[in-house]
Chains A and B, each alone.
Chain A
Amino acid sequence: MKPSVVAMTIIFGTILVGAVTGMYAGFRRQMNLEQWAVAGRGFGLILVWLLMAGEIYTTFAFLGASGWAYSRGGPTLYIIAYLSLAYVVSYFILPRIWEVGHRFALHTQSDFFRQRYGSTPLAALVAVVGVLFIIPYLQLQLTGLGIIVQVASFDAVSRSMAITIAFVIVAVFVLASGIRAVAWVSVLKDSLMLIAAFSIGIGVPYYYFGGIKPMFAALIQAKAAHLTMPGSTTTMGHAWYISTVLLTSMGFYMWPHAFGSAFSAKSGDTLRRNAVIMPLYGITLPLLFFAGFAAILVTPGLKNGDMALLSTVRSTFSPWFLGMVGGAGALTAMVPAAILILTAGTLFAKNFFRPLFAPAMSDDAVARLAKAMVVVITAVAMYFAIFSSSTLVGLLLFAYSGVTQFFPGVVLGLFWKRTTAPGVAAGIITGVGAGMALVFTKHDPYMGLNAGFIALCLNAAVTVIVSLATLAQPDGFAEQLEKAAGAEFVS
């Protein structure tokens, strides 16, 4: 049998098993991985750790991080840094967000803004900006899935064809099994990803160099400058690193789906204990850096760095292993894609369209609109995936420059009574506008700093100034919350 046939068969087999597992699990009780991590109900500590460790291998980390380690080098280290620091930030804000959600029975991020600031237009703005920046994140998943199909077919399938296949897979997966399925499919994909990460991150350096130590020795001799910042770029130095780590660690929980997940936690204390433990699960992330670095010497000269990991697997291991890695990678793209699409569809229908244009719309009609939006949003992401040449990491950084603009409105709203709806709206518009202006005129990084971070600083300044110039919400949200949760505010 041709190697491409073997690899593709195993990939589609894995996808099928994942989809069937998902649909079967849909009938059973819903599960939440983070809760297992804390309570360990019925699962051994090691199994829980393995599952959680597998969770960090997203498409972004698996193909994107190794791809940037290959093409950019040193600046990629920001990924290890922000995945720890995001939880430090979350320790201080998530329990408080949970408190608000619990007190007022909130479901979405946009609900939070409406409740805190008493403004439907602001809530609609938050919903539409959220949907807008979910699209590049979704584009990342489709691009990753496309890369898997392209490499596993031994380049017989073109990029645009591969992305179209990815679109079909994702849309069918979402419409057939939906979000209920996600936790069970995660068990399958996490185990496969962990096997893949160890085999590649340790196996490849041993196979070609006799170990990780000699691999780095060879790399230092060949191109030592690649390993520190700015690596193989000219603009991503230390100022870029600091501004990017700050932007992304503050933005990590500003994703509409991540923000919403805080509402479903058992208690504020659960969220605090999670924040303490979660950084530990990132400890196997460096394996992907090993893979990306090894690829520099094993498969040099790739035009698209995001293909580095899979190309190395293809030229090192047998086709069935490429198929397994590809299958695991495919599930890894599909599961978050499902969550993103469903979040975006709901936000659009429930928090943007209905309150602004059709207040009389029934819940059923909202659900139908949300479902229709699944196809529209995925198609838009597919369009961008086919016609953009951004790297996977570049796409996520672009998305962060958008979603992090919610941070001032959330944090000031939680800790500063004087924050007002016009202040937050002006801040978000300034931040998103400035960020996009810099990125689209190719000024990212600007003066050595991440453009999204500059936009965030402008946003915070505008939010504070406009808030001081306008009247705070009169119905005493802050007092209510103070009474309910004993939360302290700065006056």
Chain B
Amino acid sequence: MSRYRVLSLLLASVPFVAICFSVPLWDRVYPLVLGLPFNLAWLIVWIPLTTLCMAGVYRLQKRAENGRSSSPEKDASR
């Protein structure tokens, strides 16, 4: 796997860790955030953050594609 592949998969796994696997860490009522229970507020905050992570993944992909078309020998070693 190329370096960009590894990086994109890492970046895409951030939302999975933050809103799925780490649930025991943030599933509580306190501290309240703007009056909302902490778990609900955490998930709401991670909606835009998920898009941010995926925008990063998209940029990585675009960069890799541009690199590929400008230097074909890199393509072979991928």
- A interface residue numbers (CB < 8 A to B): 74, 77, 80-81, 84-85, 87-88, 91-92, 211-214, 216-217, 220, 224, 227-229, 238, 241-242, 245-246, 249, 272-273, 275-277, 279-280, 282-283, 286, 289, 488
Instruction: Verify A279–B50 contact, CB threshold 8 A.
Output: yes
- 17 pairs, A vs B, C-beta closer than 8 Å: A80-B43, A84-B46, A84-B50, A85-B16, A91-B12, A216-B32, A216-B37, A224-B29, A228-B28, A228-B37, A228-B39, A238-B23, A241-B27, A272-B61, A276-B58, A277-B51, A279-B50
Instruction: Verify B27–A238 contact, CB threshold 8 A.
Output: yes
A276 to B, closest residue via Cβ: B54
Chain A residues contacting B51 (CB-CB under 8 Å) are 276-277, 279-280
B55 within 8 A of partner (CB): yes
Complex-state Cα separation, A217 to B58, whole angstroms: 41
Which residue of the partner chain, among A238, A242, A283, contacts B48 with CB atoms under 8 Å? A283
Complex-state Cα separation, A147 to B45, whole angstroms: 33
Complex-state Cα separation, A228 to B50, whole angstroms: 22
Instruction: Verify B58–A77 contact, CB threshold 8 A.
Output: no
B15 to A, closest residue via Cβ: A88
Which residue of the partner chain, among A85, A213, A214, contacts B19 with CB atoms under 8 Å? A85
Instruction: Verify B54–A275 contact, CB threshold 8 A.
Output: yes
Per-residue 0/1 for B26-62: is the Cβ within 8 Å of any A Cβ (1 yes, 0 no)? 0111001011110110011011101101110110010
CB distance from B60 to the nearest CB of A (A): 11
Complex-state Cα separation, A81 to B50, whole angstroms: 10
Instruction: Verify A280–B47 contact, CB threshold 8 A.
Output: yes
CB distance from A487 to the nearest CB of B (A): 12
Complex-state Cα separation, A273 to B54, whole angstroms: 9
- B interface residue numbers (CB < 8 A to A): 12, 15-16, 19-21, 23-24, 27-29, 32, 34-37, 39-40, 43-44, 46-48, 50-51, 53-55, 57-58, 61, 78
Complex-state Cα separation, A85 to B50, whole angstroms: 8
Apart from A80-B40, A85-B15, A246-B20: 20 A-B pairs, beta carbons within 8 A: A87-B50, A88-B50, A92-B12, A212-B36, A216-B36, A217-B35, A227-B29, A227-B39, A228-B27, A241-B23, A242-B20, A242-B21, A242-B23, A245-B19, A273-B58, A276-B51, A279-B48, A280-B48, A283-B44, A488-B78
Chain B residues contacting A224 (CB-CB under 8 Å) are 29
Complex-state Cα separation, A91 to B59, whole angstroms: 13
Which residue of the partner chain, among B16, B36, B43, B78, contacts A88 with CB atoms under 8 Å? B16
Which residue of the partner chain, among B27, B28, B35, B44, contacts A216 with CB atoms under 8 Å? B35
B2 to A, closest residue via Cβ: A488
Chain A residues contacting B12 (CB-CB under 8 Å) are 88, 91-92
Chain B residues contacting A220 (CB-CB under 8 Å) are 29, 37
Chain B residues contacting A87 (CB-CB under 8 Å) are 50, 54
Instruction: Verify B23–A283 contact, CB threshold 8 A.
Output: no
Chain B residues contacting A214 (CB-CB under 8 Å) are 35
A220 to B, closest residue via Cβ: B29
Chain A residues contacting B35 (CB-CB under 8 Å) are 211-214, 216-217
Q: Identify which of B20, B28, B46 gathers the most chain A CB atoms within 10 Å of its CB.
A: B20
CB distance from B5 to the nearest CB of A (A): 9
B75 to A, closest residue via Cβ: A486
Complex-state Cα separation, A245 to B46, whole angstroms: 15
Instruction: Verify B58–A229 contact, CB threshold 8 A.
Output: no
Complex-state Cα separation, A6 to B10, whole angstroms: 55
Complex-state Cα separation, A445 to B27, whole angstroms: 19
Chain A residues contacting B50 (CB-CB under 8 Å) are 84-85, 87-88, 279
Instruction: Verify A238–B24 contact, CB threshold 8 A.
Output: yes
Chain A residues contacting B57 (CB-CB under 8 Å) are 91, 276
CB distance from B58 to the nearest CB of A (A): 5
B55 to A, closest residue via Cβ: A276
Chain A residues contacting B15 (CB-CB under 8 Å) are 84-85, 88
Chain B residues contacting A216 (CB-CB under 8 Å) are 32, 35-37
